[in-house]
């Protein structure tokens, strides 16, 4: 007969395991607390304001008489900023990643990578003043009707800020593609461009899509750049040369303390925040669905 002996308990491993469980629990509890705080105040808000008005009205004047609570102008302004920033950051970031991963020499890569890291480390408020003092005058010289605060300059600044994010994550994903796949494609007579665009990029598509989603989410949630460069005009318009107000800009304005706590105007802060949360949540779900489908095909 064999005597069964229990494995001796390693105190160090047990402490590390329990610590990691605590950290994971803190993350979950923090998420639950954020959702609860948003939902509790939002539910109170929607007891006083019709959901139909909130999501269909095109007039947003919660601080002025007559009060109107249509979030459409803020929603359109936010999406215009995100779209413009994506048009700048995604093509340039992906092109930079392809170049660094497949074409650049080691010496040149060692020069470009630190520059990208410097761009990533610049505070967003600096990008905001850069947009206001450099990008806006540049656009105004081409289009004289451009307003001082406008969508285009804010979008370009956010796009520039997001380029390192897209480039770095996409390059990491492409670098993870095994060299044996590249060599097999070269053996079949493929050119370097064909290997990069038809082999490496499809092989790293999950990581690339993840970088796109992060860039769009960051553009949607950006605050300082849009507050400085895009203005605070909650008017519904689709002209990128005019001022708009985004959801984050409105949240900043309300959070400055000019609105009394507990009023319906104060609760718009949570309603707008909950809408922003749901937008990014849906975006992440769509991205995960696309990534899972691409992984199954691969």
Tens digit of each residue's pLDDT (9 = 90 or more) over 10-50: 788 888 888 999 999 998 999 899 889 889 989 999 999 99
Spatial distance between the Cα atoms of 263 and 45, rounded to a whole number of angstroms: 9
CB burial class (10 A; 0-12, 13-18, 19+) of residue 119? middle
- What's the rounded Cα separation, in Å, for the pair 286 and 292? 10
Find out whether 170 and 211 touch, Cβ atoms under 8 Å: yes
Q: Is the peptide bond before 66 cis (omega within 30 degrees of 0)?
A: yes
> Token match 């700048």: residue?
88
Residue 255, pLDDT score? 79
In tens, the pLDDT along 94-109 reads 999 999 998 988 888 8
19-28, 109-118, 157-166: segment of lowest average pLDDT:
109-118
pLDDT band for position 1 (50/70/90)? very low
Q: What is the pLDDT of residue 118?
A: 86
pLDDT digits (tens, 9 = 90+) for 134-147: 999 999 999 999 99
Tell me the helix, strand and coil percentages in the chain, rounded to 5. 75, 0, 25
Closest by CA position to 170, among listed 109, 115, 91: 91
Helix (H, G, I), strand (E, B) or coil at 61: strand
Measured on CA atoms in the order 216, 221, 224, 227, is the torsion positive or negative?
Answer: positive
Left if phi > 0, otherwise alpha if psi is -120 to 50, otherwise beta: which for 56?
alpha
Q: Could you identify the residue written with the tokens 């999950």?
A: 206
Q: Report, as an integer, the average pLDDT of 189-215.
A: 89
pLDDT value at residue 7: 59
Q: How confident is the model at residue 157 (pLDDT cuts 50, 70, 90)?
A: very high
Domain range summary for the chain, segments of one domain joined by +: 11-61, 72-297
Structure confidence at residue 115 (pLDDT): 87
Q: How many degrees, rounded to 5, is the angle at CA 60 between CA 56 and CA 62? A: 120
* Tokens of residue 65, six digits: 């008489």
pTM over 0.75: yes
Considering the chain, what percentage of its residues have pLDDT values greater than 90?
Answer: 50
pLDDT above 60 (res 111): yes
Q: What is the overall mean pLDDT for the chain?
A: 88
At 297 the pLDDT is 47
Homologous superfamily assigned to 72-297: MetI-like (1.10.3720.10)
For 209-268, what is each residue's pLDDT tens digit? 889 998 999 999 898 999 999 988 888 889 999 999 999 999 888 877 677 787 888 899
The rounded percent of the chain whose pLDDT value lies above 70 is 95
pLDDT (0 to 100) of residue 263:
85
What pLDDT is recorded for position 215?
Answer: 92
| Consecutive H or E run containing 68 | strand 68-69
Q: What span, in angstroms and rounded, lies between the C-alpha atoms of 16 and 26?
A: 15
What is the SS3 assignment for 101? helix
């Amino acid at each position: 007969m064999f005597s069964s002996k229990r494995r001796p308990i390693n105190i160090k491993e047990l402490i590390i395991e329990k610590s990691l469980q605590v950290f994971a629990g803190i993350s979950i509890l923090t998420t639950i607390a954020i959702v609860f705080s948003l939902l509790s105040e939002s539910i109170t808000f929607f007891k006083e304001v019709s959901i139909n008005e909130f999501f269909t009205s095109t007039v947003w004047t919660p601080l002025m008489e007559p009060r109107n609570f249509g979030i459409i102008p803020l929603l359109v302004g936010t999406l215009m900023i995100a779209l413009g920033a994506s048009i700048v950051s995604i093509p340039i970031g992906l092109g930079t990643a392809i170049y660094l991963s497949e074409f650049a020499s080691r010496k040149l890569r060692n020069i470009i990578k630190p520059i990208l890291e410097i761009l990533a480390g610049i505070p967003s408020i600096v990008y905001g003043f850069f947009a206001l003092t450099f990008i806006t005058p540049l656009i105004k010289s081409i289009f004289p009707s451009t307003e001082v605060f406008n969508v285009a300059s804010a979008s370009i600044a956010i796009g520039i800020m997001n380029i390192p994010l897209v480039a770095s994550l996409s390059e990491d994903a492409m670098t993870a593609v095994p060299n044996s796949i590249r060599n097999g494609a070269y053996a079949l007579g493929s050119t370097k461009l064909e290997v990069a665009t038809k082999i490496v990029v499809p092989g790293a598509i999950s990581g690339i899509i993840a970088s796109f989603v992060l860039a769009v989410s960051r553009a949607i949630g950006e605050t300082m750049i849009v507050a400085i460069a895009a203005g605070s005009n909650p008017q519904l318009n689709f002209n990128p040369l005019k001022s708009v107000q985004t959801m984050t800009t409105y949240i900043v304005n309300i959070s400055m303390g000019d609105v009394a706590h507990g009023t319906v105007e104060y609760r718009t802060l949570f309603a707008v925040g909950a809408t922003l949360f749901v937008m990014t949540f849906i975006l992440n779900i769509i991205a995960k669905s696309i990534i899972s489908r691409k992984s199954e095909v691969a």
